[in-house]
Structure 1
Amino acid sequence: MRVLNKKILSICRRGLTIVKSVFRSKGKLKNLTYGEKSMVEVFNIPNYTLEQKLLESGKPMTSDTTRQELFGFQSDLMVDDQIISDYMRDEVIDFSGGNYTAMEGIITFRGNNYRNSAVFGTAHIVDKKFDRSKTWNIDTGKLKKTVSSKGYWLGSCWTGQPLIVRWKDETRKEMNMYEDKKNKEGLVEVIYSTADGYIYFLDLDDGKPTRDKIYLGFPIKGTGSIYPSEVPLYFAGAGDSMGEDCARTFIVDLIQGKVIYEYGYDDEFSLRTDNNKFHGYDSSPLIDVATDTVIQPGENGIIYTMKLNTQYDGKSVSINPEKPVKWRYTTDRSRDDHYWLGMESSASIWKGFLYITDNCGDMFCIDLNTMEVVWVQDTLDDTNASPVLEESMEDGTAYLYISTSLHFTANEKQEGDIPLLKVNAATGEIVWKRSYPCKTVAGVSGGVQATALLGDKKLSGLVYFVVARTGGKDSGKLVALNKYTGETVWSVDMTNYGWSSPIALYDKDENGYVILCDSTGNMYMVDGLSGKLYDTINLGKIIEASPAAFDNTIVVGTKGQKIYGITVK
């Protein structure tokens, strides 16, 4: 690793001058609001000086309102077991191009480094109904809790999204699948880690096992990841420890079907002090193929980046990981026992810059090649949803859509307002902010747990949020906002709130159908342009997990200890 003087780094960061004009889109959609409206604040004052600096440098930079000093933000970096002040990677991490993977399927939470889609393929939709004749389900289990509380981890929890992939024939035939599945042409495999401690492998067509499940022995609440160049490696992070056995992230060889590496456990570098330096890895890792580096935020307040030295010859895979580069932080809030240090959300990455939210009510941008904080924004409360990133072709920058749970800002009645935000990814400044009144009940969060859905195709002017415990303690809303202005286009009242992240299926004519799940086991299909309800199917128990879809088939797990495959007619 090269350690460089800060003055040299400053010169390097100036980059190449880019001559561009700054345009700001003013597009609006017709307001078709249903039900209750909320106050909207549109912060739309351009800072051309700052934007021109951005265009000249080609990189994000802080503004007067997003300087880390304003938040008491302090960080440390450990390289080769030494805390250092200046750093530059030997190999540059750069996710430019917007093409995280060429694989067929969904291989990480919300599909890619922008976290903007958990759907692959085009749906053939005729009746706009769920096909009950083609619905399958399989049983999962439960795992006794040993640390946080009494009881059991049940079925699939938040975020709990499945991965769905069609392997290349040559890859599939080397795997430890059952012979009929190994030889099945065009097999699409569901890989689902659940809270009972197992990884399940299923045929998307019928839900039947494709190979033996793998026991990890830890609850997996979050979403796994597959190496994005079809190297058969799978990554899954434990959401909690088991007794004295500390939570960690597992790397699984999908040819042999076994764990080959573990990292992130009992890390003394963590500054989190509760529950014996609490560790948890709900965040879904991202992998940079060009540098062979895994990027993993942790609830222990550490971001791990680790070069794997992967070797794969088409028949066997091995890794020889280097010592991770570890970044940790504290803020003014994290030094107060009222707040929690650490990151449960999954990171988004634009170019060489990581965007993440935390439990202290912060969103921040980190330069992955220097591991320096670029900017910090106040999200006000515990933020579990992942930032959804949209790269703009109109003004050369990117934007983030995010919201929060209701915890720290709640009053004595456990009521308060939560913000829905659009943030400039280049500066951290708020573009628009919208507030919703919510309630938290017995520690079960109100507000937003679900990651936003950014519309595409005919829905491309919209962004969707699922707000829990608004309009009543058990109620919720699905709201469709104009992504340019934050104005409500439509909203639908939900009798039962949702934590599950919505998805959208698109047909050959680019019509969009939003799929949403709620806390009583209902799955809904609604028209993405109007909010019109097309169909509902009940899956029996609470759905906290987020669905993923491949063509016409949607897969999701429930806390009722089942995984379902639902086909749309």
Structure 2
Amino acid sequence: MKTSRWFRIFMMALDTVVLFFLRMFRRFDKVYRYEAVEKSSLSDRPHAVKGTAQEDLGIECDLEVDGAIRQDYHRPETITFPMEEPYTKLEGIVTFRGNNLRSGAAFGTLSSQPQRLEKKWSVSTGRLQKGYGKGFWTGSGWTGQPLIVRWPAELRMLMNIYPHKKQKEGLTEAIYSTMDGNVYFIDIEDGEKTRDDLFVGLPFKGAGALDPRGIPMLYLGPGDSCGDEPARGFIYSLIDCKKLYEFGAHDPFALRKFHGYDSSVLVAEKADTLIAPGENGILYTMKLNTKFNRETGELSISPSEIVKLRYKTYRSSEQSYWLGMEDSGVMWNDYLYIADNGGNLMCIDINTMKIMWAQDVVDDTNGSPVFSVEENIPYIYIATSLHWTASRRLKLGDVPIFKINAITGEYVWKHTYLCNTVAGISGGIQATCINGKKGISDLVIFPVARTPQVRTGLLVALDKKTGEEVWRYPTGKYVWSSPVDIYDREGNAYLIVCNSAGDMDLLDARKGTLISRLNFGANIEASPAVFEDMLVVGTRGQEIVGVKIS
């Protein structure tokens, strides 16, 4: 039932008072630690132990291969993502958080210790009429990360890039799909358009992805349908920006009516196979059968071996604990790690499409899992938004940050924060964490929204071993945007974090202290990407900005 604006304002004011008095009687955060059933190492195969079998969460699966139901499956060409092999040889950020481990959204290093942020250019974006109700999709939304690539000269010459940009040595292009239904192509040095906008007409919240093999293909997934246009996955040629393929529209195999494709896909290079999770509750894989002539620019795909894994759980329904995946999965060796809207984290053997283990992460998971190896043991860091577990009246709840053993699915530690949530603008953790490197290799860093007040937030650095808080930085207004870690040549670490008031902060990552701030006057819920010393991000205020880190 729709409530009046004044009632919602009254409830937010009441929540603020309640949160204030609660701080007098209880801690807003707490750490829990767990004992492992068995020892693990990188050489072990993921497997379930007590409490992490899929049956423990009531998960049931069905498999379809090329339209036929199958009981068992084994992929003809093995997919694997070895730790020692980079996801891409391209220079840039080609998927959400850069690669198959979701380890970061920055390419290159800073030439010196940064002192300030400077806005260098901006590009206007538009809005798109929603297909239901009133209002518009505007600007860049969650997760909203741009893709950035410095194209090799031979590829640049084949594309429909403007002639004067095509001749520019070292052209670095931002490719940004936004909620107005367009894809924008921008020179990150000067903010000029590099080619005509690509209009698709569906709202893009997710980051999309580029083909990591250096084949000029763009993968897109809208977050919602629009009028008669259903949400579905797209593959476009970047030679001429023509559509090559689409999949997933009104898929009859789906158990959930809603369709969305926010997840940033991955491509297995040697197997020529796309891995694409859907918010309709289906994990899609397909062999692309890619043909690309690097001399003439002829490009085609003809997908086959289309495999669909669907699942349901004992608590999933159309009303609550929804099916579907809108985070972006991790691929390590043969295994996909991905969470869903219904509080399930799953480890899936991508070659058999079997669930190896499953863990209850309690609530709707929008931030992507992040993979980390520490003392020869692989782990997953993940956290949830506050949705299903919020108290009925005051919408309060303890939001968990988890460290999970990637071999067995067991909890290592859990750190909770008391948060508030508001319908449509969730509290808790919507962003993807930073797995610290170099000077902050002992830290994992998360933004926590709607704590300690309803409209405020924290950026917290936790000790990887213990889960204890090392520092906290009040972000002012709440944060949905995923922070970015950047490093100078000496290994000193810095952070970029953006909030819902339009602030962009540059922090010392070791201390959690402010170095510089810009304000863009509109909510930044999209996630930035950084290429060397240039940052690109979009705002809900219908603007894409380029920022120099100097």
Q: Could you state the TM-score of these two structures normalised by the residue count of structure 1?
A: 0.90
1:51 corresponds to which residue?
A: 40
Structure 2 residue 302 is matched with structure 1 residue 320? yes
Whether 1:374 aligns to 2:356 is: yes
Partners of 1:117 and 1:229 lie apart in 2 by: 19
CA distance in 2, matches of 1:256, 1:370: 36
Q: Among 97, 117, 120, which residue is 1:110 paired with?
A: 97
Pick the aligned partner of 1:165 from 133, 149, 164.
149
Aligned to 1:146: 131
Matched, 1:92 2:78: yes
Q: How far is the alpha carbon of 1:37 from its aligned partner?
A: 6.8
Other-structure match for 1:8: none
Partner of 1:216: 200
Q: Does 1:467 align with 2:465?
A: no
| Aligned equivalent of 2:312 | 330
* Structure 2 counterpart of 1:6: none
Structure 2 counterpart of 1:206:
190
Q: Is the 8 A contact 2:144 2:177 kept in 1?
A: yes
The separation in 2 between residues aligned to 1:335 and 1:240, in whole angstroms, is: 19
3-state SS in 1 of match to 2:148: strand
Aligned twin of 1:408: 388
Cα pair distance change 1:158/1:127, threshold 3 Å: closer
SS in 2 for 1:495: strand
Per the alignment, residue 60 of structure 1 pairs with 46
Distance 2:158 2:114 in 1: 39
Other structure's SS at 1:365 match: strand
- Determine the structure 2 residue equivalent to 1:72: 58
Number of corresponding residues: 520
Supply the distance in 1 between the matched residues of 2:515 and 2:102 (Cα, whole angstroms). 26
Q: Does the C-alpha gap of structure 1 residues 127 and 225 become closer, same or farther in structure 2, counting only changes over 3 Å?
A: closer
2: CA distance, partners of 1:170 / 1:264: 34
Unaligned ranges ≥5, structure 2: 1-26
1:398 & 1:431 partners in 2: Cα distance? 11
Shift of 1:38: 2.3
- Asked if structure 1 preserves the Cα contact closer than 8 Å seen for 2:528 and 2:537, the reply is yes
Mapped partners of 1:550, 1:127: distance in 2: 14
Match of 2:217 in 1: 233
- 1 CA distance for matches of 2:175 and 2:456? 32
User: 2 CA distance for matches of 1:441 and 1:370?
Assistant: 40
In structure 2, how many angstroms separate the alpha carbons of the residues matched to 1:125 and 1:531? 19
- Write the distance in 2 (CA, Å) between the matches of 1:139 and 1:72: 47
Return the letter of the residue paired with 1:146.
G
The equivalent residue for 2:366 is 384
When residues 489 and 203 of structure 1 are mapped into structure 2, their CA distance, relative to the original with a 3 A threshold, is same
Q: Which is worse superposed, 338-347 or 119-128?
A: 119-128
CA contact (8 A) 2:28 2:452 kept: no
Residue in structure 1 matching 2:325, options 308, 328, 343: 343
Alignment-derived partner of residue 437 in structure 2: 456
Identity of aligned residues (%): 50
Runs of 4+ aligned residues of structure 1 deviating over 6 Å after TM superposition are none
Q: 1:37, 1:488 within 8 Å by CA — same for their partners in 2?
A: no
Deviation at 1:51, TM superposition (A): 3.4
Q: Are 1:359 and 1:384, in contact at CA under 8 Å, matched by a contact in 2?
A: yes
User: How far apart, in 2, do the equivalents of 1:121 and 1:200 lie?
Assistant: 23
Report if aligned partners of 1:524, 1:537 keep a CA contact under 8 Å in 2.
yes
Q: Which residue does 1:41 correspond to in 2? A: 32
Give the structure 2 partner of residue 484 of structure 1: 465
Contact kept, 8 Å, 1:348 with 1:387, in 2: the verdict is: yes
Q: 1:474 to 1:79 in 2, by over 3 A?
A: same
Alignment-mate amino acid for residue 335 of structure 2: F
Shift of 1:246: 1.1
SS in 1 for 2:29: coil
Q: State the SS of the aligned residue for 1:266.
A: coil
Is residue 214–residue 258 contact of structure 1 (8 Å, CA) maintained in 2?
no
1:302 aligned to 2:287?
no
Residue 258 (structure 1) aligns with: 242
Q: Is the 8 A contact 1:192 1:199 kept in 2?
A: yes
Which residue in the other structure is 1:289 paired with? 269
Q: SS at the partner of 2:304?
A: coil
Preserved contact between residue 125 and residue 568 of structure 1 (Cα < 8 Å): no
AA in 2 matched with 1:550: F
Task: Name the SS of the counterpart of 1:556 in structure 2.
Answer: strand
Matched, 1:357 2:357: no
Separation (CA, whole Å) in 1 of partners of 2:373 and 2:191: 36
Kindly report the root-mean-square deviation, in angstroms, between the aligned alpha carbons of the 2 structures.
1.3
Q: Deviation digits for residues 312-357 of structure 1, max 9, x if unmatched?
A: 1112211111152000000011147322111110111110100111
Give distance in 2, aligned partners of 1:332 and 1:448. Answer: 25
Deviation at 1:229, TM superposition (A): 1.1
C-alpha contact (below 8 Å) 2:79/2:351 kept by paired residues:
yes
Tell me by how many angstroms 1:296 deviates.
Answer: 0.5
Which AA in structure 2 matches 1:152?
F
Q: 1:128, CA displacement in angstroms? A: 1.4
Aligned to 2:17: none
Cα pair 2:275 2:285 within 8 Å, conserved = yes
Secondary structure in structure 2 of the residue aligned to 1:63: coil
Change (3 A) 1:127 1:297: closer
